[in-house]
Structure 1
Amino acid sequence: MAVGNSGILHGKPARIKIFAAVLAVSLALTGCGASGGGSDASDNGGGNGNGAKADNAGGANDGKAANAEAADDGAGKSTSEQVTLSLWGWSGTFQTDFTKLVLSEFEKQHPNIKIKYIPDQGGTDKLTTLIAGGTPPDVAILDRFLTGSWAAKGSLENLTPFLEMDSEVSSNDYYPGVWAETTYNDQVYALPWGTDNRGLYYNKTLMKEAGLDANTPPKTIDELDAMAEKMFKKSTSGGYEQVGFIPWMGQSYLYTQSWNFGGEWTKDAELTPNDPQIVKALEWMAGYAKKYDMAQINKFNDVMGKTGINPFWTGKVGFMVDGNWILNDLKSNAKVKPTFEWGVTPMPSADGYPQTTWAGGFSFTLPKGGKHPQEAWELLKFIAGYKGTLLWAKRPNAGNDITAMPKVNEEIKITENPQLKVFVDMMPSAHFRPVTPAGQKMWDETFRVQDLALNGKGEPKKLLDEVKKNVDAELKKLQAK
């Protein structure tokens, strides 16, 4: 889960009080105040509580006063002057649609602000270079789970001062875990934008052929194993022409399965990639590779890769973990024409643990060093707040997207789609990758040792102990900067 308590903003220094007062006067004089977006509190609990509070790194706390000061300066400026803001976002149809549906509306409501759209040029490496060089975009999109590492190295503006003076945006507008993922050391560095999670797709036709009840998908790992075993089928050449389940296909990998086994990646402010339940998850995955022959599975995966569609839609996979977004394939990919019955359900879990999911998504941030912090905040809270989120969610080609705001999801009635409802209903209890400066390192390490374990090149316990050693070293290095 994320660092800190969702929605709790600690300590309002005198500087912030002055900031609020100055802003109030400024808004009254210029008429550029907060526009009513409306929000209601989510009835969800505070997430799954598996997050740990990372120690301060990279001068994050030292930057709080500077962040507040920058916000003060922005608030004191007259927002009636013409300002051009740069926004860093994805290129292609996203740029076209987002500009037309969201940014144009913002400019109408804020005639003194113009938006210059900068298509993503080289990903986060290029964005890091711009920030380091003092020429960052005013607003940028960022993978939400990177918030902790970017905040720790001082690359993002602290949004807490803005939130403390502006009631238009609240933690209660978002799913608890989604909001917590934008929080580092109890300070907020991003606003959530969009989310997703994972479920189990199951082929009812193959279940029937295997003598299984097609209306009773597996709820536990043991049930999944038993059902999947009945669905593996080899061709005359000896390779698989059909598989029951592959624990590393689609969105099924160690992070995913760790939570299905009740694993925790953090505990008492410590990163715990070698948690005993995570070890069990990797042992289980490696067991599939050994039982069903990794080489034969790789051949099957190669064949699936040449189809040009998601493996599940080929009708050759009994059970597969994947995200809500593959539902879009049914309309967007002309090759996807399933001739079999199928369904979606929460992922199976190990005995004694609840069925769960994990969620990801993106956020919008204010990169450190922007020249117009107050105007940038106005843009940020519009596009990632109620108004902008609703405008984007109502676009004609929204498909099966899930927004980060429960109220918007309710308003656009996405749960009327029974398959999508499965995913939306899991959002309140979804797990999230830990918000930590070493988050990217731990993510990369899990894939490294997963590959080794599946190919019989190491014991899961020893491999994950190695991950623990490596991420602790990375965290120590980052904290020393």
Structure 2
Amino acid sequence: MQKTLTAMALALTATGATAQQIEIDFAYPYSSLFDVTYERILPKFQEAYPNITVNIRATYENYEDGTNTILREAAGGDLPDVTMQGLNRQAILVERGIARSLEPFIAEEADFTTDGYNQAMLSLSTFEDQVYGLPFSVSLPVGYYNMDLMAEAGITSTDDLPSTWEEVAQVCESLIAAGVDTPMFFGWNITGNWFLQALMWSQGQPLMEGNDFMLDTPEGLAALETMDMLFDRCDMPNFSTTDGQGAFTAGDVAMMFWSTSSVGSVERSKGDFELVTNEYPGMGAAPSGLPAGGNAAMLVSDSEDPEVLAAAWAWLTFITSGEGAADVARTTGYMPPNSAANEIILADFYEANPTKATAVRQIDLLSDWQAYPGDNGLAITQVIYDGIEGIVTGDYEDMEELQEELTDEVQSLLPADS
């Protein structure tokens, strides 16, 4: 297979009738976010590699669906060649032997890191000193503001936007008093318990330490109490993720706390109001850290054909570097985890697109979006989801009791320390 993958990839750019057409399968999540991105990238790739056909499979609904789909396809022998997986869902594919190490491919590339990839970003997809994925898009939580509605609370400048959750609650109360029915949507239900991890990292405390679930800490209780306070004082409906973002883009919600990934889609679909994004509020102070959301391109092909693998590698590297990575920022709100895109191609981009620059200002806060170890990771995600939804609906009012229940149930699903 090592029959010089780089040389083979170069051969795949050949034109002419004698060139063999090679097909690869590719799957990704969140069509509402990424369809427009791949519509930009695919023609550029086809121009560079006319002999490779990329067949795009049905999109995954979210990262959990993406992981479940790959696990099913691995069991059935129907894997795509390249899959996009949430940064917090890569480990299980590595542990199950589904994802291929990219080290043999990287070894054949000259000056791989200087092409824009850097160790900080590669570390998000590195396991046992082996790179298994190339980060495609990185997001951080940010605040979205409808400045027309914020004026109802006397806020007309970004300098006056709330910087703590207590200030957010105070703004909610002012907005409610001014007649705004839905002052805030807080994205507690984003995939992978991301916002719970954001509240934990804000305090400098990871949600997982080894096989120990760290919600049973003062920081864990503070995270639950912060959500309880926000949902109550902001009178927040139990929106689905789709309905919450839809209400904001329709101009009915003043503040939305969400991933920067949706900036592009919000701008394309929003009503006639001024949109501003700003840094994610902290718990009494600026956050100490925030979880890196996003996804990585992983090679999961079960083919042993060197030409197919070289074609999959060509696609994987094209979409995560240079122009491919730049198109992520142009069409979404994600940061391309590639210095070539950020520092060269997008040199003037963020100045011209300030709503997409907020996450870049927070880049020093990047922390792990943690997975839950063992075989029950997806089940644990659902247990936590159900618990937080109980706060939204008012089924849980005693946060210490909820803390104890969640800790006991989640810990029982985690591997026992050996």
| TM-score of the aligned structures, taking structure 2 as reference length | 0.76
Partner of 1:358: 291
- 3-state SS of paired residue (1:87): strand
User: Are positions 1:446 and 2:384 aligned together?
Assistant: yes
Matched, 1:221 2:165: yes
Considering fraction of residues, name the structure with more helix: 2
Q: Does 1:407 align with 2:340?
A: yes
Decide whether aligned partners of structure 1 residues 151 and 330 sit closer, same or farther in structure 2, where only a CA change above 3 A counts.
Answer: closer
Alpha-carbon shift at residue 346 of structure 1 (Å): 0.5
1:348–1:140 distance in 2 versus 1, CA, 3 Å: closer
Q: Among residues 53, 58, 82, which one is paired with 1:120 in the alignment?
A: 58
Pair 392,255 (structure 1): closer, same or farther in 2 beyond 3 Å: closer
Counterpart in the other structure of 1:150: 93
3-state SS, counterpart of residue 237 of structure 2: helix
Matches within 5 A, 1:302-321: 305=243, 310-321=246-257
CA distance in 2, matches of 1:274, 1:393: 41
Q: Does the aligned pair in 2 maintain the 1:265–1:434 contact within 8 Å?
A: yes
Which residue number corresponds to residue 192 of structure 1?
135
What RMSD over aligned residues (CA atoms) do the two structures have, in Å?
4.0
Matches within 5 A, 1:86-101: 86-90=24-28, 97-101=40-44
Match of 1:286 among 228, 236, 239: 228
1:231-262 CA-to-partner distances (Å, cap 9, x unmatched) read 22376xxxxx4344354578684233333344
Q: Determine the C-alpha separation between the residues in 2 that align with 1:153 and 1:131.
A: 10
- Determine the C-alpha separation between the residues in 2 that align with 1:233 and 1:177: 46
In 1, Cα distance between equivalents of 2:112 and 2:234 = 51
CA–CA separation in structure 2 for the residues paired with 1:121 and 1:317: 29
- Conserved? CA contact 2:318–2:324, under 8 Å: no
**Larger CA Rg, structure 1 vs 2:** 1
Query: What is the aligned partner in structure 1 of residue 237 from structure 2?
Result: 298
| Contact 2:117-2:339 within 8 A present in 1 as well | yes
The answer for the alignment partner of 2:198 in structure 1 is: 256
Quick one: distance in 2 between partners of 1:396 and 1:280?
34
The correspondence for 1:337, drawn from 253, 271, 288, is 271
Residue aligning to 1:41: none
Q: Which amino acid aligns with 1:260?
A: S
Which SS does the other structure have where 1:403 is aligned? coil
Worse-superposed segment, 220-229 or 308-317: 308-317
The alignment status of 1:418 with 2:354, answered yes or no, reads: yes
Give the aligned residue type for 1:311: A
Contact 2:276 2:355 in 1 (8 A): yes
2:177 to 211, 233, 247: 233
Gaps of 5+ in 1: 1-18, 36-79, 236-240
Q: In the comparison of the two structures, how many residue pairs are matched?
A: 393
SS in 1 for 2:369: coil
Offset, 1:313: 3.6
Query: Shift of the alpha carbon at 1:321?
Result: 0.8
The equivalent residue for 2:413 is 474
Q: Deviations over 1:130-164 (max 9, x none)?
A: 32234433322323321011111221112234334
| CA displacement at 1:450 relative to structure 2 | 0.4
The one-letter amino acid paired with 1:156 is: A
CA deviation map 1:417-459 (0-9, x unaligned): 2221112222342233114545434432321110123323363
Q: Using a 3 Å threshold, how does the CA distance of structure 1 residues 463 and 176 change in structure 2: closer, same or farther?
A: farther
What aligned pairs does 1:20-31 form with structure 2 within 5 A after superposition? 23=3
Pair 1:268–1:365, CA change in 2 (3 A): closer
The alignment-based identity, stated in percent, is 18
Match of 1:457 in 2: 396
Q: Would you say the 8 A contact 1:144–1:360 is kept in 2? A: yes
